[in-house]
Amino acid sequence: MAAEKLERILKLLAELLNASTPLTAEELRNRIHMYPDNLVAFRKQFSRDKAALKDMGVPLDVISVGSSGKSAEAYVLDNKKYYLPDLNLSDAELSQLNYASNSIHLIGELTEEEALRKLGGYSKQRSDYATSASIGDFDVFDRLFEALSEKKTTSFSYASKQRLIEPYLLQFKGEHWYLTGRETDTDSVKSFRTDRINDLSIGDTSDKYILPDSLSGADFSYFSYGDDDEVIAKVLIDKSHVKWVKSNLDISVVINPDGDGIAEFVVKNYESFISRVLLLLDHAEILEPDFLRQKLIERMKYLQNTYEDSNA
């Protein structure tokens, strides 16, 4: 799937998920700003995008709105059908489910469409703003999985330092695979990007350690786990989207007198954070820090120029 098409479908999905009322094709066209001006070309592209969402299992419904003489089709996405219900799992059950679900990605090849389905999107690298999954040396990854499965200690070089780790989890989050485990020298739980692990060796003895009762791992929000200097970003959230942000991003929002809200995010991956804010379209505004605000403006200019070039 081309990066531009992926971005357009993600925005279409975001608009449908965030909408409080059914939206017509024209309303979606005006909100997304990535469809051609020609009406015939727009209808063909929009029809293909709808089909792509349905192929990915998105429960998109079509209803009639307006008077009987001037009725139009409108589109609605029932969030209750799209998102899983709260399963009331214990911490141990969540840990086991997390381990099992992440392990599935080792089997076969993960397509862009599969990743897009309820995960927020994935595309092969096309520009500085695109992303791709990073595993590194697959042999290293395979051996890490073996060590974790058999509870063998691992030793490797990471950030110019030799580490001795008791592996707990392998997780795919925020564009990368991570190993989480206890570092024996510091007796602390840490996470490591698998593509940055070097000189890996695996112990010979199985069941060398016992997994803790609760395996929460690190904070793997894709914008709060990265290599950038940590900052606190304040974002103004439109009152129509406060509830969505609180429930879907699992973050508290301070409500202003006018109903809008202020949310604070811990950000260590600037580009991923910008991508998240962009999905909220004009319903979110970065207030601070200023350099993140400028990055958002630069990204919007880049997208606008790319769109204009593609339609020149």
Which structural domains are found in the chain, ordered by start? 3-79 (1.10.10.10), 91-202 (no CATH), 231-310 (3.30.70)
**pLDDT band for position 223 (50/70/90)?**
low
DSSP 8-state assignment for residue 259? S
Region 268-292: mean pLDDT is 84
- Give the C-alpha separation, 253 to 266, whole Å: 14
| Of 12 and 4, the one with more pLDDT | 12
Region 273-292: mean pLDDT is 85
Q: Closest by alpha carbon to 140, among 152, 156, 128?
A: 156
Region 125-151: mean pLDDT is 64
**pLDDT band for position 95 (50/70/90)?**
low
Residues 6 or more apart whose CB falls under 8 angstroms from that of 140 comprise: 194, 197, 200
Whether residue 280 is predicted with pLDDT greater than 80 in this model: the reply is: no
Whether residue 213 is predicted with pLDDT greater than 70 in this model: the reply is: yes
- Give the C-alpha separation, 117 to 257, whole Å: 37
**pLDDT band for position 203 (50/70/90)?**
very high
Q: Are 141 and 192 in contact (CB under 8 A)?
A: no
| Of 131 and 138, the one with more pLDDT | 138
Q: Using N-to-C axis directions, what is the helix angle for 270-279 and 290-310, rounded to 10°?
A: 60
What's the whole-model pTM score?
Answer: 0.36
pLDDT, residue 215, reads: 63
pLDDT, residue 201, reads: 94
Whether residue 80 is predicted with pLDDT greater than 50 in this model: the reply is: yes
Q: What residue has token string 């997208």? A: 303
- Tens of pLDDT, residue by residue over 161-184, are 899 999 988 776 545 677 888 899
- What are the b/e assignments for 171-187, b being 16+ CB within 10 Å? bbbbbbbbbbbbbeeee
| Of 155 and 146, the one with more pLDDT | 155
Region 134-155: mean pLDDT is 80
- Give the C-alpha separation, 93 to 301, whole Å: 45
What's the one-letter identity of residue 286?
Answer: I
Whether residue 13 is predicted with pLDDT greater than 60 in this model: the reply is: yes
Q: In this structure, what token pair is assigned to residue 178?
A: 């991570």
> Quick one: which H or E segment has residue 74?
strand 72-77
